[in-house]
Amino acid sequence: MEFDWSYAYSLLFDQDFWLACWTVAKLGFLSWLLAGGLGFFLALAKQSSIRPINWLSRLYIWFFRSLPLLVLLMFIYNLPQVFPASANVLTEAFYAGLISLVLSEAAYMAEIHRGGILAVPRGQYEAAKALGLRYAGIQRLIIIPQAIRIALPTLSNEFITIVKLTSLVSVISLTEILLVGQRLYTHNFLIFETMLAVAFYYVLMVTIFDKALGWLEQYLDVSQRKPKAYQLSASEKAAIHAAQPASASTTSVASDSATPALEVRQLNKYYGEHHVLKNINLSVRSGDVISIIGPSGSGKTSLIRTLNGLEPFADGSVWIHGQHFLGTQNGQCLTAPHPELILDIGMVFQSFNLFPHRTVLDNVTLALGYHNRGTAASRRIEALTQLSRVGMVEHANKYPHQLSGGQQQRVAIARALAMHPSIMLFDEPTSALDPELVNEVLRVLESLAAEGITMLIVTHEMRFAFNVSNRVIFMENGAILHDESPADLRQSSDTRVSEFLRQLNH
């Protein structure tokens, strides 16, 4: 039989095909969107530490990945025979197909989302937690945007798969592209010409959506953006100048001189059988600048991370301005009874942990907005004030990847200062920097010390520790061996201290 070109060409303008394309577009997009949302919920549930939630998620993913979509379609469409109440919805082929596709694809998309979530660095969770964000806020503002951006190429591919799977819905008589073609060639027997038109419509739809998703992927790729240097307006300069005196005093809690700003009582921590922190007792007065030094593995970082709840501990307690902040109950580390005190402790990390999908300005304002600190305008001025304080205001429109390591660390300091904590924790703030960038961060720390901010700094910069600190803590094997003034520690008769300082000075 000779190929009928004129008939094949006429099918490109067939109204039934175009209506079927619209049906497939709606079905495919809604299925992708709903399955993506359900899949993300399942991905989070699969990572939950709550065993029943974890196992229910695993069971769902296992079952619906094992069940063929065609079988599921027939089951859902005929479900009203068992549950007549579902007839109002499931007798509609579109809704039966939509529910089937969502249930099936959610299981696959859950694993895609889980891969995206696992690819978000752990430091992102920790930075958000240190800023006082709760679980839902961390997911909504930090994790989900990054995980979706990471998983978007695979999610786009899954959308194309869904569009092609809509052809299976023809078995329950939904008028989609394949069913229109089948109805035509059963009447005229021009199978090849008709299926060529069916293929054309599927390729056309996939191409259009692929281009749209490619544009979305490019839009979300912040590495392609080239922001201009931020220029302060006259009103912003005036507002920053007026705010500077207030910013110099970050203490948010009026402290009694007799009450320690921070107190640690009999704190112990274990990693399995290893006793990491041993009976730590520490009292920090307001205005103290304390450097924590010691050999690697001595427990310095573990100590600093327990003070704001980033690391749990076995027993002991942490008090802030005389209020109980962290304690233990039945061997579990708990925040009680004043969880809001987390906002009184600023944290700066060794690896910066800035949020890569947000600009410098957004990084600093994020926690202010989450905790409803002032108006949008006042939050912006606060962020610009802190960025000006660390010499980074002209970079406010940039993204973290466009900054040097020293610049990123200064932004991280501004982000912590914006919440006006009364205590600042620094976990080796210069160890991830090139030698030439160390000094720019140390100068910021020196200026903060001069302002009287209470600081605890884990550091290997001995010159800084002894010149700026009023107390130096020497740790080894999880215990505090010395807590003295820099002058006293230099003159210590302890051979271990002398050997440690001698090695660092070489």
pLDDT at 504 exceeding the cut of 70: no
Question: Model's pTM, two decimal places?
Answer: 0.86
Instruction: List the domains of the chain with CATH numbers.
Output: 5-220 (1.10.3720.10), 238-254+287-309+340-505 (3.40.50.300)
Q: What integer pLDDT is reported at residue 248 of this predicted model?
A: 45
The sign of the torsion formed by the CA atoms of 170, 175, 181, 185 equals positive
What's the sign of the alpha-carbon dihedral 121, 126, 127, 131?
positive
Tell me which of 83-87, 105-109, 327-331, 447-451 is least confident. Answer: 327-331
**Would you state the pLDDT for residue 506?**
53
Give the pLDDT confidence of 379-403 residue by residue, as tens digits.
Answer: 999 999 999 999 999 999 999 999 9
**pLDDT tier at 408 (50, 70, 90 boundaries)?**
very high
The helix (run of H) or strand (run of E) holding residue 263 is strand 262-271
Across 180-189, 207-216, 247-256, least confident range: 247-256
At residue 165's C-alpha, the angle toward residues 162 and 167, to 5°, is 135
pLDDT at 77 over 50: yes
Which sign, positive or negative, has the C-alpha torsion 238, 239, 244, 246?
Answer: positive
The answer, yes or no, to whether residue 231 has pLDDT greater than 80, is yes
Q: What is the pLDDT of residue 247?
A: 47
What local confidence, expressed as pLDDT, does residue 139 receive?
94
Q: Which residues pair with 251 in a beta bridge?
A: none
Say how far apart CA 410 and CA 404 lie, in whole Å.
10
Q: Give residue-wise pLDDT tens across range 48-64.
A: 989 999 999 999 999 99
Q: What is the mean pLDDT of residues 303-310?
A: 93
Residue 336 has pLDDT above 70, yes or no: no
Q: Are 148 and 221 in contact (CB under 8 A)?
A: no
Tokens of 159: 């959308």
Statement: residue 1 has pLDDT above 70: no
pLDDT at 218: 87
The pLDDT value given to residue 245: 52
Respond yes or no on whether the N-terminal peptide bond of residue 337 is cis (omega within 30° of 0): yes
Residue 358 has pLDDT above 80, yes or no: yes
Q: Which of 85, 89, 110 is nearest to 100 (CA)?
A: 89
Per-residue pLDDT, averaged over 432-444, amounts to: 85
Average pLDDT over residues 416-426: 94
Confidence of residue 321 (pLDDT cuts 50, 70, 90): very high
Instruction: Please report the pLDDT score of residue 293 as a whole number.
Output: 93
Q: What is the mean pLDDT of the chain?
A: 89
Rounded Cα distance, 146 and 139, in Å: 10
* pLDDT at 426 (0 to 100): 95
> Does residue 140 contact residue 67 with C-beta atoms inside 8 Å?
no
Q: Which of 298, 321, 261, 305 minimizes the C-alpha distance to 471?
A: 261
Average the pLDDT over 272-289 and give the result: 93
Q: How confident is the model at residue 318 (pLDDT cuts 50, 70, 90)?
A: very high
Task: Supply the pLDDT for residue 301.
Answer: 93
What pLDDT is attached to residue 39? 96
Range 250-277 average pLDDT: 79
List, in order, residues 6 or more apart from 69 with CB less than 8 Å away: 100, 101, 104, 165, 168
Look at residue 361 and tell me whether its pLDDT is greater than 80. Answer: yes
Q: Report the pLDDT value the prediction gives residue 461, as an integer from 0 to 100.
A: 87
Which residues are within 8 A (CB) of 200 and not within 5 positions of it... i.e. 6 or more apart?
A: 12
